[in-house]
Structure 1
Amino acid sequence: MIPYVVSKLAIALISPLGTALLLWLVGLLLLATARRAAISLLVLGLGWLWLWSTPVVSDSLLHHLEHRYPPRLAAALPRADAIVVLGGAVAPPGRGMPYPNLSPAADRIWHAARVFRAGKAPILVASGGSDPALAAVPEAQVIAGLLQELGVPAAAILQERDSRTTYENAQFTARLLQDRHVRGSCS
């Protein structure tokens, strides 16, 4: 398994900003020896960043990814043994922040509570750890607290507090559910 830091670095480098910064770095390094190639890389980096920053490109990519999975009403969902809320929905309190910071993905917490209240599963799993140097509590604990504020009883919530990536969310949550003899399926 790829170490956590290496995976986060790789993700940062393949992001539009990371790719532009890498092009600029290589361009600056080549500036003294290969001026024409260096300027080309600097301009390419700027163009690459501008391209991905335009709403036409970013919104069309987002639409392309999301339209394949249209939202479904909670009542239309099938019954399941558990509902899983993946991490990445909140930044836990830490470093002087007394409250969690909700990310754009925080709507998954609200929807999970809605699905639970619709009676679609008896268990809800909050998944997500945190870096102790950055956060006071694991993300799963914050998600569980928000779920309780949205009407989910504490007894119905399991917490997977060790993951730091989506892959670990899935791996550790599967293990947690297997330990409780909950069979898995995706829909």
Structure 2
Amino acid sequence: MFFVLSKVVGFFIHPSNLIAVICAVGVVLLLTQWRRAGTRVLAAGVVLLLIAGYSPLGSVMLLTLSERFQPWQYAGKAPDGIIVLGGALDSDVSAARNSVELDSSAERVVAALELARDYPRARIVYSGGSGNLLGDSVPEAPMAAELFERFGIAKDRLLLERRSRTTAENARFTRELVSPKPGELWLLVTSAFHMPRSIEVFRAAGVDVVAYPVDWRTRGWSDAAQPFNRLSSGLARMDVAAHEWAGLLAYWVHHRGEKVVPTP
């Protein structure tokens, strides 16, 4: 039930969806006796659309998260394990095409392959089920395993967690799967903007991980002053940023944390 509720609320959290709803309400009001109110609502929707689509607000929101954890540097101790969070593969298209298809977060898999090559003793956990609310549920982890094996990663190094639908479930099910021991070094590979929320839930689940951020999406703080030249690009970045911030705020409220964004 909670998963369904989170998906429904998540629909309206995305600015592109919320703005569309506002504009639709404005159009409906224009067809009624409340035409003046409809004009105002529709105008507000258009203004919000222009701000979200062309201003660098989405970049600022994303940078605040993605710059929190810096790239990992080898400090003399090789990792004992590498945890890769799902989201790098399009499981629905992969299943339909009978081919492993990567999506916009493909850097997660690329980084994991590089780490697996550089640290051949490290175990690799791919945590990814299906977050689909509608349609058939196709878990991502088995498809990732197929890709790893194509690149020569031995099966006995791979641990697949295929039940998770959320980041919190990524953490809980991964802990049950690997039971990390004190003193072990486990790297957590996920998108830089997703790292603060991931670190927070893994810590709460009792899994001590070290951030290995990838998939930065921005060039750095210079993007905070750079407007977008396409409406769709700005909206896409706003959607990603709003989703992450909403997740952090919800987790902070639910668990009464001290900080909304965790410290490195």
Q: How does 1:20-59 map to 2 (within 5 A)?
A: 20-31=19-30, 32-54=32-54, 56-59=56-59
| Residues 119/51 of structure 1: CA separation in 2 closer, same or farther (3 Å cut) | same
Question: What TM-score does the superposition give when structure 1 sets the normalisation length?
Answer: 0.81
Q: How far apart in 1 are the matches of 2:40 and 2:34?
A: 10
Greater mean deviation of Cα atoms: 165-174 or 103-112: 165-174
Q: Name the aligned partner's letter for residue 89 of structure 2.
A: V
Partner of 2:119: 119
Q: How many residues align?
A: 181
Q: How far apart in 2 are the matches of 1:134 and 1:55?
A: 37
- Would you say 1:185 and 2:186 are equivalent positions? no
CA contact under 8 A between 1:81 and 1:182: conserved in structure 2?
no
Q: Name the aligned partner's letter for residue 176 of structure 1.
A: L
Q: Secondary structure at the match of 2:163?
A: coil
CA contact under 8 A between 1:85 and 1:126: conserved in structure 2?
yes
Q: How far apart in 2 are the matches of 1:25 and 1:121?
A: 56
Q: How does 1:1-187 map to 2 (within 5 A)?
A: 2=2, 4-31=3-30, 32-54=32-54, 56-73=56-73, 75-76=74-75, 78-92=77-91, 93-94=94-95, 96-119=96-119, 122-130=122-130, 133-134=135-136, 137-178=138-179, 182=181, 184-187=207-210
Q: Name the aligned partner's letter for residue 85 of structure 1.
A: V
Q: Name the aligned partner's letter for residue 126 of structure 1.
A: Y
CA contact under 8 A between 1:160 and 1:176: conserved in structure 2?
yes
Q: How far apart in 1 are the matches of 2:120 and 2:57?
A: 37
Q: Name the aligned partner's letter for residue 61 of structure 2.
A: L
Q: Secondary structure at the match of 1:58?
A: helix
Q: How far apart in 2 are the matches of 1:49 and 1:160?
A: 39
**1:56-79 deviation digits (Å, cap 9, x = unpaired):** 333333333222223335x45854
Highest RCO, 1 vs 2 (Cα 8 Å, sep ≥ 6): 2
Question: What TM-score does the superposition give when structure 2 sets the normalisation length?
Answer: 0.60
Q: How far apart in 2 are the matches of 1:71 and 1:149?
A: 27
Unmatched tracts of structure 2, length 5 or more: 183-206, 211-264
CA contact under 8 A between 1:110 and 1:150: conserved in structure 2?
no
Q: % of aligned pairs identical?
A: 32
**1:138-185 deviation digits (Å, cap 9, x = unpaired):** 20011122222334221101001111222222222122123xx65631
| Residues 146/85 of structure 1: CA separation in 2 closer, same or farther (3 Å cut) | same
CA contact under 8 A between 1:23 and 1:42: conserved in structure 2?
yes
Q: Secondary structure at the match of 2:24?
A: helix
Q: How far apart in 2 are the matches of 1:13 and 1:38?
A: 20
